[in-house]
């Protein structure tokens, strides 16, 4: 401290009372001399300063936050309509209502006589499903190959039917519906209705499903094999409305053999419902299975958790969830039932959340790195959602390419494995080929042709290695080409499935997982899963239009198909 000031303070000391009083009087006189105007100015300065310290800060902060909000809204406004359709339902709990079912004659399911099912596709609709006595068979044959051959099995492309296919992959623009190459045409779609776009439409059901084949509509012989399978599923539905891979408690006489070892009722229920939807039977269609389908869909929706999970507590939830979501998307697309649509939209959001962003894959539980089998079910669910007009995250779909690339093998990357470190197999190649088709990969790409040939080198066989899971995916993928190669596959596939279907007892209409040879996945999925996949393979003509159309001149469209020359 400076010594001089300290000393001055010490010497002078505090002011006396008289001095303080005198100074106070002087200050008052000076204040009065300034006049009232100066006092008002000081009051105003005090008032604004106090307001800013006490309230003004919060008002200014609020104004700034609102300004930022308006700017963000202006930036996001163009994309909000597409997001709103997919999320508007989430605040409401899904419920379920079905139209009044057709009256049933009795509580017991009547027997359906399978007889000798035709080896070729005939006709499948509600009327023919009611033909319990096997009529004489009058099959008609259709083929879209360049050269027509008797006993083909394709379908004419210019006739109405179940239009669940549609050319093009996932291309969503200006809204949640298909905005891109919908239907079987090549024009850009303009509609917003479920499945609309291009010159075709998505979900729908023609008159008689194979409706109008040959201009007249097939025959009354019906698709006996499919119908018998549907009645088998109906007989084995649990009282609660679900199905189980351990279905034997529902057998009406001597129990069917072949229960599955996996406990996953949501997956079993979905596997049982998909063939009904494939035959055009919904909870709103007045037919012999309306009540059956209604109870099954209601059971699935009751199991859904708040986050959208439909797995009903399965140990490997993504398998069950993917299958259940496919069911709800197809049911919504076919009926427009908003209650089902809400549950389906929540299921799609769960799939998008569960994807591993690093690998682009899915596996048993959300966030797992992935395997091609689980990826296939999730991509199929997303495709079904798109066709039904539900919002799909296109970024999620783009990530799938990363997974497919990681498991690609072969000269052209057209052979696919279960996981990156494993060897390619026919079943995983079939799954990946279908995924590539849904994602819009050109059909004449070398990897697509390599995959196609690999499947043709492994045709179905009743005496060799039986793999109905592989047959189902390969049937879906090859049907999209609808060429002579599809005809080769289709003839063999139908012959094997028709001749191995059970034709007597409680098991009539189903497929035995252990005979004539053991199915590769028969122990895990049992008779119910085997029967579902076989039935779905036989329904491909009724459920989907091919993705790649063969031109009327008999040859492929430019860039559609060709031959593959190995290096």
Quick: pLDDT tens for 549-563: 433 333 333 333 333
Closest Cα to residue 329, out of 406, 253, 266, 382?
382
Query: Does the residue 289 lie in any domain?
Result: yes
Query: Does the residue 332 lie in any domain?
Result: yes
Which pLDDT value is given to residue 222? 39
Please give the average per-residue pLDDT across 101-119, as a whole number.
48
pLDDT at 329 over 70: yes
Query: Does the residue 408 lie in any domain?
Result: yes
Mean pLDDT lowest among 123-132, 427-436, 546-555: 546-555
Which pLDDT value is given to residue 69? 76
**Which one has a higher pLDDT value, 342 or 29?**
342
Which pLDDT value is given to residue 233? 96
Which pLDDT value is given to residue 211? 35
Which pLDDT value is given to residue 52? 60
Kindly state whether residues 216 and 306 are assigned to the same domain. yes
User: Tokens in use for 338?
Assistant: 């908003």
Kindly state whether residues 43 and 160 are assigned to the same domain. no
Kindly state whether residues 500 and 403 are assigned to the same domain. yes
Query: Does the residue 553 lie in any domain?
Result: no
Kindly state whether residues 315 and 425 are assigned to the same domain. yes
pLDDT at 104 over 50: no
Query: Does the residue 182 lie in any domain?
Result: no
Question: CA 255, 257, 261, 262 torsion: positive or negative?
Answer: negative
- Is the Cβ–Cβ distance between 281 and 289 less than 8 Å? yes
Kindly state whether residues 335 and 397 are assigned to the same domain. yes
pLDDT at 150 over 70: no
Q: Name the helix (H) or strand (E) containing 233.
A: helix 224-235
Q: Which domain holds residue 339?
A: 126-165+202-543
pLDDT at 534 over 80: yes
How does residue 51 score in pLDDT terms, banded at 50, 70 and 90? Answer: low
Query: Does the residue 246 lie in any domain?
Result: yes
Taking the C-alpha atoms of residue 342 and residue 351, their distance in angstroms, rounded to an integer, is: 15
How many Cβ atoms are within 10 Å of 64's Cβ, its own excluded?
10
User: Tokens in use for 475?
Assistant: 């049937």
Please give the average per-residue pLDDT across 302-306, as a whole number.
97
Which pLDDT value is given to residue 249? 85
Please give the average per-residue pLDDT across 61-79, as a whole number.
70
How many Cβ atoms are within 10 Å of 346's Cβ, its own excluded?
24
How does pLDDT run across 2-39, given as a tens digit for each residue?
Answer: 443 333 333 334 444 443 444 444 444 454 445 555 55
Kindly state whether residues 72 and 131 are assigned to the same domain. no
**CA of 51: how far to CAs of 39, 47, 65, 267, in Å?**
18, 6, 20, 66
Kindly state whether residues 33 and 147 are assigned to the same domain. no
Query: Does the residue 174 lie in any domain?
Result: no
Q: Is 527 helix (H, G, I), strand (E, B) or coil?
A: helix
Closest Cα to residue 531, out of 490, 500, 493, 504?
500
Task: State the CATH number of the domain containing residue 340.
Answer: 1.50.10.20
Please give the average per-residue pLDDT across 372-397, as a whole number.
95
How does pLDDT run across 510-530, given as a tens digit for each residue?
Answer: 999 999 999 998 889 999 999
- Is the Cβ–Cβ distance between 460 and 494 less than 8 Å? no
The per-residue pLDDT of the chain, averaged, comes to 73
Domain count of the fold of the chain: 2
Kindly state whether residues 73 and 133 are assigned to the same domain. no
Kindly state whether residues 148 and 59 are assigned to the same domain. no
How does residue 401 score in pLDDT terms, banded at 50, 70 and 90? Answer: very high
How many Cβ atoms are within 10 Å of 554's Cβ, its own excluded?
11
pLDDT at 290 over 80: yes
**Which one has a higher pLDDT value, 473 or 8?**
473
Please give the average per-residue pLDDT across 365-384, as a whole number.
97
pLDDT at 219 over 90: no
pLDDT at 193 over 50: no
Ordered DSSP codes for 195-219: T-BTTB-SS---TTSS-SGGGTT--
How does residue 115 score in pLDDT terms, banded at 50, 70 and 90? Answer: low
407: which residues sit within 8 A by CB, 6+ positions away?
372, 416, 417, 418, 419, 420, 422, 428, 432
Please give the average per-residue pLDDT across 276-280, as a whole number.
92
How does residue 129 score in pLDDT terms, banded at 50, 70 and 90? Answer: low
Kindly state whether residues 380 and 503 are assigned to the same domain. yes
Which pLDDT value is given to residue 381? 97
How does residue 101 score in pLDDT terms, banded at 50, 70 and 90? Answer: very low
Q: Which of 31-35, 252-256, 257-261, 414-418 has the highest mean pLDDT?
A: 414-418
Kindly state whether residues 269 and 394 are assigned to the same domain. yes
**CA of 59: how far to CAs of 47, 54, 65, 66, in Å?**
16, 10, 10, 11
Which pLDDT value is given to residue 286? 85
Residue 415 pairs with which residues in a beta bridge?
Answer: 409
Taking the C-alpha atoms of residue 466 and residue 415, their distance in angstroms, rounded to an integer, is: 20
How many Cβ atoms are within 10 Å of 356's Cβ, its own excluded?
17
Kindly state whether residues 361 and 474 are assigned to the same domain. yes
- Is the Cβ–Cβ distance between 534 and 281 less than 8 Å? no
Query: Does the residue 186 lie in any domain?
Result: no
| CA Rg value for the chain | 34
How does pLDDT run across 494-514, given as a tens digit for each residue?
Answer: 999 999 999 988 999 999 999
């Amino acid at each position: 401290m400076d010594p001089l000031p300290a000393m001055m303070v010490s010497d002078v000391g505090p002011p006396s009372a008289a001095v303080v009083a005198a100074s106070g009087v002087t200050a008052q006189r000076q204040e009065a001399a300034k006049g009232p105007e100066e006092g008002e100015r000081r009051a105003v300065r005090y008032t604004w300063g106090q307001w800013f310290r006490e309230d003004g800060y919060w008002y200014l902060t609020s104004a700034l936050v609102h300004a930022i909000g308006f700017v963000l809204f202006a930036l996001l406004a163009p994309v909000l309509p597409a997001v709103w359709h997919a999320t508007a339902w989430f605040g409401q709990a899904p419920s379920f209502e079905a139209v009044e079912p057709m009256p049933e004659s009795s509580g017991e399911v009547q027997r359906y006589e399978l007889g000798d099912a035709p080896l070729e596709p005939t006709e499948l609709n509600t009327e023919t499903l009611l033909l319990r006595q096997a009529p004489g068979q009058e099959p008609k044959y259709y083929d879209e190959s360049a050269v027509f051959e008797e006993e083909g099995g394709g379908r004419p492309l210019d006739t109405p039917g179940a239009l669940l296919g549609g050319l093009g992959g996932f291309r969503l623009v200006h809204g949640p519906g298909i905005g891109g190459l919908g239907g079987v045409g090549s024009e850009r779609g303009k509609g917003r209705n479920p499945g609309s776009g291009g010159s075709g439409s998505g979900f729908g059901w023609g008159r008689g499903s194979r409706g109008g084949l040959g201009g007249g509509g097939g025959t009354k012989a019906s698709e006996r094999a499919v119908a018998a399978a549907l009645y088998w599923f109906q007989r084995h539905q649990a009282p609660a409305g679900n199905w189980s891979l351990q279905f034997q408690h529902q057998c009406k006489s001597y129990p069917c053999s072949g229960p599955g070892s996996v406990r996953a009722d949501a997956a079993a229920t979905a596997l049982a419902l998909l063939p009904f939807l494939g035959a055009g039977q919904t909870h709103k269609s007045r037919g012999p299975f309306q009540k059956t389908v209604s109870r099954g869909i209601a059971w699935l929706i009751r199991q859904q958790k708040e986050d959208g999970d439909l797995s009903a507590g399965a140990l490997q939830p993504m398998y069950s969830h993917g299958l259940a979501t496919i069911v709800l998307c197809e049911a919504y697309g076919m009926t427009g039932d908003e209650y089902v649509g809400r549950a389906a939209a929540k299921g799609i959001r769960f799939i998008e959340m569960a994807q591993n962003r690093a690998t682009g894959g899915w596996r048993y539980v959300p966030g797992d790195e992935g395997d091609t089998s689980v990826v296939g079910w999730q991509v199929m669910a997303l495709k079904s959602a798109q066709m039904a007009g539900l919002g799909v995250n296109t970024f999620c779909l783009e990530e799938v390419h990363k997974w497919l690339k990681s498991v690609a093998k072969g000269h052209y990357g057209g052979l696919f494995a279960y996981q990156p470190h494993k060897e390619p197999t026919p079943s995983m190649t079939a799954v990946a080929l279908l995924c590539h088709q849904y994602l819009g990969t050109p059909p004449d790409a070398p990897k697509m042709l390599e995959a196609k040939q690999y499947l043709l080198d492994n045709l179905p066989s009743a005496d060799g290695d039986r793999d109905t899971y592989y047959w189902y995916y390969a049937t879906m993928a090859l049907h999209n080409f609808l060429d002579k190669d599809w005809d080769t596959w289709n003839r063999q596939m139908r012959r094997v499935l028709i001749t191995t279907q059970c034709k007597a007892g409680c098991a009539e209409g189903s497929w035995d997982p252990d005979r004539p040879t053991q199915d590769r996945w028969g122990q895990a999925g049992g008779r119910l899963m085997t029967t579902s996949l076989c039935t779905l393979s036989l329904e491909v003509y009724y459920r989907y239009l091919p993705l790649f159309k063969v031109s009327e001149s008999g040859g492929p469209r430019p860039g559609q198909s060709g031959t593959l020359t190995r290096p």
